[in-house]
Amino acid sequence: MVQLRIRAANADIKTRMKLVPLKSLRLHPEANRVPRMPPEQNAEFQADIAERGVRVPIEIIAGRVIVDGRSRYLAARRLGIKRVPVIRAPLNGDDPVIYMLRAATKRRHLTDDQRACLAREEMEILSRIATRERARQGGLTGGRGRAKPSNSLPITSVGKQSRTKTSRGTVAVTYRVSERRIRAAQQLKQVAPQLYEQVKAGEQRLTVAKREADRESKRQEQRRLSRAARPHRDESNWEIRYGDCVEELAKLKPGTARLVFADPPYNQGIDYGPGRKADSLSDEAYLAWCRRWIKACVRVLTDDGSLWVMISDEYADHFGLLLREAGLHRRSWIKWYETFGVNCTNNFNRCSRHIFYCVKNPRRFVFNADAVSRPSDRQSKYADSRANPHGKLWDNVWCIPRLVENSRERLPDFPTQLPLALVRPIVLCASQPGDLVIDPFSGSGTTGVASVESVRRFIGIEANQKFARFAGERISMRS
């Protein structure tokens, strides 16, 4: 029974089909809305037409305009085929461009992202039709609405049921995609039309393209802020306060720093001036002090600010809790692999530290991905054209060599200087040009250098007067 019906339908097509000169056909001016076939598929398709000719009729509308069959038409042209079978497209009142889009969606293998783009195109056409309809009705009733001139093919008919009222939900069903995906395609088209075309052509994934568009708009924002902040890049934009961090932080206005980076004494008996004992407290005394300065740091953070704390193995587990107790949300627990450290004889060598990256508000924070991205394997190993040109985010293990005695960057007479390669990405990632960055344990002023060179404002606090003076000199050479 079913077979009989198919045969009948085929017979029907055959009777309605005509052979016409290829020259008499022309492509619809909006044919490019429909994505082209991928090259390999197209090669196979061309080979088939070369062998068997055009067997499926090309669908046309009045004036012999092609609304379905662009690939067959182009292949025939390339192969010098003179006459091709055509059939009148059963538009049933549909707009021809919508017909084209739907035909492509039904026949061809398209990804969900591509179908979302076609659904978006249909929505665009529908809204154009609606605008015209309103303008026409305004004209009929003597209203002031006027149709905007359009560069597209005249729309022959709106269809039996009013297509202008079709909602995104209905279109989503037709194209078998979620409304969310259509909305994402629409947003991408608005902010990054080139990336949108790549998604429609199947060369790029929508999520990747959207991420890329978001990053680009962040980059533009960064450039704008940088330009605005540059004239103020002078000594008035940073200071080193000599004193105790809890006391000095209390003097600052609350909610003013976008980023606080803290590399405190680790209670390991290092002499920062007042002797080794000052850095060898009981666990209780050390943790009670840490609670106090963490609280003071949180107070000065903006609502969308972040606190980054570096600590060694001994107190890492305690810090996880202390930061949570202070009301912060941990976004990442980063391991800094220093590439080499203290060699042990009967235990694993110590060559890493912990960086807790915490935010005040888990939904609102500054995160400039470009500052912490690297080339992906797709880019560097496989030269894959689909690779995101801006690479992928760093892993949560950062491999950055620590500064040894003879490192070029190493300053004399300071025991625990961090490499700029470690602090710079943190400053760039978690703050914007012009923002205030605070380091409550400024030491040799590494955070200050990273901040000033990237056009941030900076306040460093340091309890050792010699270090404070020295950090000031170091930063002023950079500012």
Ligand X SMILES: C[S@@+](CC[C@H](N)C(=O)[O-])C[C@H]1O[C@@H](n2cnc3c(N)ncnc32)[C@H](O)[C@@H]1O
Which residues contribute to the site for ligand X (CB under 6 A)? 244-245, 263-265, 272-273, 416-418, 440-441, 443-444, 446, 461-464, 467
Task: List the one residue out of 58, 64, 32, 24 whose CA is nearest residue 151.
Answer: 32
3-state secondary structure of 312: coil
State the minimum distance, in angstroms, from the CB of residue 325 to ligand X.
20
Residues 6+ apart with CB under 8 A from 275: none
Nearer to ligand X, 289 or 337 (CB): 289
3-state secondary structure of 132: helix
State the minimum distance, in angstroms, from the CB of residue 414 to ligand X.
6
Nearer to ligand X, 196 or 441 (CB): 441
Query: If you write DSSP's letter for every residue of 383-400 in order, what string do you get?
Result: --TTS-TT-EE--SEEE-
Nearer to ligand X, 130 or 421 (CB): 421
3-state secondary structure of 175: helix
State the minimum distance, in angstroms, from the CB of residue 35 to ligand X.
53
CA distance 350 to 331: 25
3-state secondary structure of 270: coil
Nearer to ligand X, 69 or 264 (CB): 264
3-state secondary structure of 240: strand
* Cα separations in angstroms, 240 against 229, 245, 468: 20, 11, 6
CA distance 342 to 337: 12
Task: List the one residue out of 394, 390, 368 whose CA is nearest residue 378.
Answer: 390
Nearer to ligand X, 159 or 445 (CB): 445
State the minimum distance, in angstroms, from the CB of residue 441 to ligand X.
3
Question: Residue 138: how many CB atoms within 10 A of its CB?
Answer: 14
CA distance 105 to 96: 14
State the minimum distance, in angstroms, from the CB of residue 220 to ligand X.
32
State the minimum distance, in angstroms, from the CB of residue 339 to ligand X.
17
Nearer to ligand X, 110 or 300 (CB): 300
State the minimum distance, in angstroms, from the CB of residue 120 to ligand X.
50
Task: List the one residue out of 392, 393, 402 whose CA is nearest residue 353.
Answer: 402
Length of the chain: 479
Nearer to ligand X, 113 or 462 (CB): 462
Residues 6+ apart with CB under 8 A from 407: 401, 419
Nearer to ligand X, 175 or 441 (CB): 441
State the minimum distance, in angstroms, from the CB of residue 227 to ligand X.
29
Q: C-alpha angle 150/153/157, rounded to 5°? A: 100
* Cα separations in angstroms, 429 against 155, 274, 305, 320, 365: 50, 34, 12, 21, 10
* Longest Cα separation, the chain: 101
Nearer to ligand X, 113 or 248 (CB): 248
State the minimum distance, in angstroms, from the CB of residue 411 to ligand X.
8
Compute CA 167 distance to the chain's CA centroid, rounded to the nearest angstrom.
29
Burial of 58 (0-12, 13-18, 19+ CB in 10 A): buried
CA distance 348 to 340: 12
State the minimum distance, in angstroms, from the CB of residue 400 to ligand X.
13
State the minimum distance, in angstroms, from the CB of residue 418 to ligand X.
4
* Residue given tokens 């995906």 in the structure block: 181
Nearer to ligand X, 25 or 471 (CB): 471
